[in-house]
């Protein structure tokens, strides 16, 4: 159920085509129960093995159809499926990595923002981490229907901003630093209709170390 290497993206599925590089479900960088008590094992198992896997399968199917299509009309007809399932795959792949077992229950480093460039930028844009969380939760709680909440870097100003996307639209206007799944499938089994409690809880398992790496890349200070 667990993989040892957080950066590993081995497949849980096998590609049936040697011609195309099929997308595969990335393994989680932690166990399914590792985010408890903030996100239950039941949610994680279903979210990863059912929901994310479905986006992967549907994306592969849409891409295979696209490859076989011979007319503009056929290709246009596939755009919605490519966007929805491609976005679902991209967003969930980011989401798993920006979560980590919580320091608050001595399981890991989740929820801890250390001193560094990201913290400095958060203070600069929001005044404090607490203010960021308050603003982020208010903005994402207001999403009507399904979508994603984002902390992203504005590529023009290089400043951190909070934004949202609808459905499975990936974040294109900003470089994503932290993304939170606001679909009911991400929280309903545990938090029922109380989205605010899910949003409060999730900050305990945010992987700020991953966010720090993404921030460094976004503002061009990455040593890679």
Name the residues that contact Fe ion, by CB under 5 A.
181, 183, 186
Please state the closest distance from residue 91 (CB atom) to Fe ion, in A: 7
CA distance 186 to 28: 15
Can you read off the two tokens belonging to residue 86?
């491609």
203: DSSP letter: G
Angle at 203 between CA 202 and CA 204, to 5 degrees: 85
Please state the closest distance from residue 120 (CB atom) to Fe ion, in A: 31
Q: In terms of CB distance, is 181 or 210 closer to Fe ion?
A: 181
Q: In terms of CB distance, is 46 or 112 closer to Fe ion?
A: 46
Q: Was 89 annotated as part of a binding site?
A: no
In degrees rounded to 5, what are phi and psi of residue 171?
-80, 115
Q: In terms of CB distance, is 158 or 192 closer to Fe ion?
A: 192
Q: Was 92 annotated as part of a binding site?
A: yes
63: DSSP letter: H
Q: In terms of CB distance, is 183 or 215 closer to Fe ion?
A: 183
Residue with the CB atom nearest Fe ion in the bound state: 181
CA distance 84 to 219: 28
Strands 175-181 vs 160-166: parallel, antiparallel or unpaired: unpaired
Q: Was 48 annotated as part of a binding site?
A: no
Please state the closest distance from residue 183 (CB atom) to Fe ion, in A: 5
Q: Was 181 annotated as part of a binding site?
A: yes
Long-range contacts of 158-163 (CB under 8 A, 24+ apart): 158/218, 158/219, 159/121, 159/124, 159/125, 160/121, 160/122, 160/124, 160/125, 160/126, 160/132, 160/215, 161/125, 162/132, 162/135, 162/136, 163/139
Please state the closest distance from residue 52 (CB atom) to Fe ion, in A: 7
Q: In terms of CB distance, is 125 or 140 closer to Fe ion?
A: 140
Please state the closest distance from residue 7 (CB atom) to Fe ion, in A: 21
Which residues fall in the annotated binding site for Mn(2+)?
47, 92, 181, 185
């Amino acid at each position: 159920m667990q993989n040892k290497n957080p950066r590993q993206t081995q497949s849980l599925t096998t590609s049936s085509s040697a011609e195309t590089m099929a997308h595969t479900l990335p393994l989680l960088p932690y166990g399914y129960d590792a985010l408890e008590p903030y996100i239950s094992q039941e949610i994680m198992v279903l979210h990863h093995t059912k929901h994310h896997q479905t986006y992967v399968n549907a994306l592969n199917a849409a891409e295979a159809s696209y490859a076989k299509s011979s007319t503009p009309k056929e290709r246009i007809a596939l755009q919605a499926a490519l966007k929805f399932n491609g976005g679902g795959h991209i967003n969930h792949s980011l989401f798993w990595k920006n979560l980590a077992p919580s320091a608050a229950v001595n399981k890991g480093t989740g929820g801890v923002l250390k001193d560094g460039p990201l913290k400095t930028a958060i203070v600069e844009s929001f005044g404090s981490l607490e203010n960021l969380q308050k603003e982020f939760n208010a903005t994402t709680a207001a999403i009507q229907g399904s979508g994603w909440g984002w902390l992203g870097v504005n590529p023009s100003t290089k400043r951190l901003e909070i934004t949202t996307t609808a459905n499975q639209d990936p974040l294109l206007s900003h470089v994503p630093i932290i993304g939170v799944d606001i679909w009911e499938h991400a929280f309903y089994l545990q938090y029922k209709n109380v989205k605010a409690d899910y949003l409060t809880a999730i900050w305990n398992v945010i992987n700020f170390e991953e966010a720090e790496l993404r921030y460094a890349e976004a503002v061009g200070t990455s040593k890679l």
